[in-house]
Amino acid sequence: MPAERSKAERKEDRRVAGMGSFLSNLAKSRSTEKSVAKALFPFRDETDPRIVYKLSERARRISLKVNTSDREVSVVVPGVKALPKARKFARQQRDWINVQLESLPPPQPFEAGGHILIRGELYQLVSPPGRGRPKVDHERRVVNVPSPDAESFPGRVRRFLIREAREELTAASHFYAEKLGKRIGKISVRDTSSRWGSCVTRKGEGHISYSWRLISAPPFVLDYVAAHECAHMVEDNHSAAFWSVCESINDDVKRASKWLRKNGAFLHAVGAEW
């Protein structure tokens, strides 16, 4: 005789069944499946925000994909009608999902009293009342970020880190570009998940984009990434010639590359809520 299902499991079954009815009704009210998909996807699971449902027209079956940069699991859904089955499958694989995500470095949310990586070291976040620019006490490893309320605190911390990253990456980029006899046209700092940096050359000038998360890495790593992207203004590839250029202007290429491969997940933990 099968074991009695828990209250939570019965509730989830009702949610899945309700989603099936919702899809059916929605499909009737719209002309194509594409408009249904546009209205629904992507979206996070109501019971676990670490799980994201994504529609794939090419997929032939339901599958799970771990995204370590975004610290989430994507449930690949092969068609709108397969969503109820995909939700049920994700619930059945919850233990596997937990194992995969719990193997990542612990999250470092932007909250008062918490600690985050800055330049390779852990700093405590403090939220004094009022307004004003953040101040860093390097001796005590404390970052004071004035904030009128708890809701605005994370955004202020994030903007502070982006400003710090932009300042250091701009200085490093111009330093290495000058070594190569090249000019920087534009520097952007974003929250990228797949690359620490990228470079394109336009009219003889380098346009470089970086991840702000590099401010959380040790300084020699940030310097290496800047040298790496500047070297692309000479060699737009990853050939032996490129690495020769890179090593000619930076002495930490191998050490920094190894650090990023081993510890990159720690940088993506900064600011993460789960």
Q: Quick check: 83 and 40 in contact, CB under 8 A? A: yes
Mention every residue, 6+ apart, whose C-beta is less than 8 A from residue 134: 143, 144, 145, 146, 156, 157, 160
Taking 50 as the threshold, does the pLDDT of residue 1 lie above it? no
- Alpha-carbon span 43 to 22, nearest angstrom: 15
Q: Return the DSSP state at 108.
A: B
Taking 60 as the threshold, does the pLDDT of residue 24 lie above it? no
Query: In Å, what is the CA distance from 154 to each residue of 167, 210, 216?
Result: 20, 21, 16
User: Which domains are delineated in the chain?
Assistant: 7-102 (no CATH), 154-269 (3.30.2010.10)
Q: Measured in Å, how far apart are the chain's first and last C-alpha atoms? A: 38
Q: Return the DSSP state at 213.
A: G
- Alpha-carbon span 118 to 124, nearest angstrom: 10
Number of residues that make up the chain = 274
45-73, pLDDT tens digit by residue? 999 999 999 999 889 999 999 999 899 99
Query: In Å, what is the CA distance from 132 to each residue of 81, 116, 146, 161?
Result: 52, 21, 6, 15
The pLDDT of 5-16, averaged and rounded, is 54
pTM: 0.81
- Alpha-carbon span 198 to 195, nearest angstrom: 7
What stretches of the chain adopt beta strand conformation (E)? 43-44, 51-55, 63-67, 72-77, 115-118, 121-126, 135-137, 142-144, 183-190, 197-202, 205-211
132-172, pLDDT tens digit by residue? 999 999 999 999 999 999 999 999 999 999 999 999 999 99
Taking 80 as the threshold, does the pLDDT of residue 121 lie above it? yes
**Percent residues over pLDDT 90 in the chain:** 79
Mention every residue, 6+ apart, whose C-beta is less than 8 A from residue 250: 176, 223, 224, 227, 228, 256
Q: Supply the DSSP string of 255-273, one letter for each residue.
A: HHHHHHHHHHHHHHHBT--
Residue 87, exposed/middle/buried by CB under 10 A (0-12, 13-18, 19+)? buried
What are the strands of the beta sheet with 142-144, ordered from one edge? 115-118, 121-126, 142-144, 135-137
pLDDT (0 to 100) of residue 3:
46
